[in-house]
Amino acid sequence: MITLIKSATIIDASSPFHQQTKDILINDGSITKIDDNISKKDGYQVVELDNLHVSTGWFDSSVSFGEPGYEERETIKHGLEVAAKSGFTAVAVNPNTNPVIDNKSSVEFLINKANGFATNLYPIGTLTQQNKGIEMAELYDMQQSGAIAFGDYNKPIANDNLLKIALLYTQNFDGLALSFPKNNSIAGDGVANEGKNSTLLGLKGIPALAEEIQISRDLFLLEYTGGKLHIPTITTEKSVKLIKEAKKKGLDVTCSVAVHNLVLTDDELHGFDGNKKVNPPLRTSKDIKALLKGLKDGTIDIITSDHNPIDIEHKKVEFSTAKDGTIGLESAFGALNSVLDIETIVNCLSNNPKERFGIEKISIQENQKADLSIFSPDGDYTFSEENIISTSKNSIFLNKKLKGKVYGIYNNNQLILNS
């Protein structure tokens, strides 16, 4: 199939066509021509849409699907279809399944299940056996089977020596270790950011210190061991400062931030809505300001939706007992587009995460594979259940004003567009 994308504004700093509006001709999955005006021919699949923009394909570094074990929340097949219609050509899937992804056969199961889709799936293996934080998992074997990183999703590594050994061991095969930034001894059974709102609402608080002290420990260990460390979903002003200082020292550390922590504060908790319960929690406007600044100056490398489907039985309950997590694929671009410029969004959704997780970066040029996210930055709308494609509906952005529209993707010789 030959596909012709008409009048597309190209967002790709590595392309000679960056910020130019061009026609793009794709034949058998590869870009064969980029020009001002390419004529339509019979049999072409033509894409003509309002204020059409294309960028290098977005890669979400933290996505949870239910399968295996929690298929009622989301299956791999449907999850990848959601990702495609949300503009993502690749996703890294967390190991929080049942059984967890802690050995080579479970990694291979995910890869085989995802074969043939427009959106590529890259497994993240657990850092510890059975996700229990006691003994290290089979990291090398999992990497040989296709795992791109190792971390216990939303679970901190409490054992300092275990993380030290993991950082040393992964250097033998250039592996990437993930360490969730939370000290459970300090966080305790907190359910919300410790501050004015948690006090007013009578909710047990999670102090910013619980995140920052864990990051400090991780950075001390990294400085001692060397190796590669990624800290997912930071949320506080001090966390940004700690990572900025570590990078100045030359430590090989990166970090990410979840979309909702860039847009929403703990003021959202006044309705006691379980959909607003996330881990790490929503913080303050001062933290958001520091996070946005950290993205723009390069301290924060990656933005993730931190997409985590939870069934209604575990969400429509008392706030303190609701499971943590929000879906985020469908709302990611619209939320980011309301607070950040397009180039920063593309850099932190595409170039930076691909580089860190060892995914091939493909420029929008002739004779290159077509790996494209297709969208428009224009148009305000209110995010509602009608906008949710996921099986689970636990969105933190329900009834929020978002901006822009995702049209779909082109990847793996497949065009996927929203109807």
Same domain, 71 and 166: yes
Look at residue 99 and tell me if it is in a domain.
yes
CATH number, residue 413 = 2.30.40.10
Look at residue 264 and tell me if it is in a domain.
yes
Same domain, 272 and 408: no
1 Cβ contact list (under 8 Å, min separation 6): 28, 45, 413, 415
Same domain, 41 and 147: no
Same domain, 36 and 145: no
Which pLDDT value is given to residue 337? 98
Q: Name the catalytic one among 12, 266, 306, 371.
A: 306
Average pLDDT of every residue of the chain: 97
Residue % of the chain over a pLDDT of 90: 100
If one counts the domains in the chain, the total is 2
Look at residue 363 and tell me if it is in a domain.
no
In this prediction, residue 419 has a pLDDT band, given cuts at 50, 70 and 90, of confident
Residue % of the chain over a pLDDT of 70: 100
Look at residue 195 and tell me if it is in a domain.
yes
Assigned token pair, 114: 């995802």
Same domain, 64 and 168: yes
Q: At which residue do the structure tokens 């993991």 appear? A: 166
pLDDT tens digits, 164-220: 999 999 999 999 999 999 999 999 999 999 999 999 999 999 999 999 999 999 999
Give the residue-averaged pLDDT of 244-248: 98
Strand partners, 325: none
Look at residue 23 and tell me if it is in a domain.
yes
Look at residue 246 and tell me if it is in a domain.
yes
Buried b (16+ CB within 10 A) or exposed e, 196-219: ebbeebebebbbbebbbbbbbbbb
In this prediction, residue 256 has a pLDDT band, given cuts at 50, 70 and 90, of very high
* CA atoms of 55 and 319, how far apart (whole Å): 39
Instruction: Give me the domain span that covers residue 250.
Output: 57-357
CATH number, residue 125 = 3.20.20.140
Assess whether pLDDT exceeds 90 at residue 1: no
Assess whether pLDDT exceeds 80 at residue 42: yes
Assess whether pLDDT exceeds 80 at residue 352: yes
Which pLDDT value is given to residue 290? 98
* CA atoms of 305 and 330, how far apart (whole Å): 9
306 classed as catalytic: yes
- The model carries a pTM of 0.97
Look at residue 393 and tell me if it is in a domain.
no
Same domain, 267 and 412: no
Look at residue 394 and tell me if it is in a domain.
no
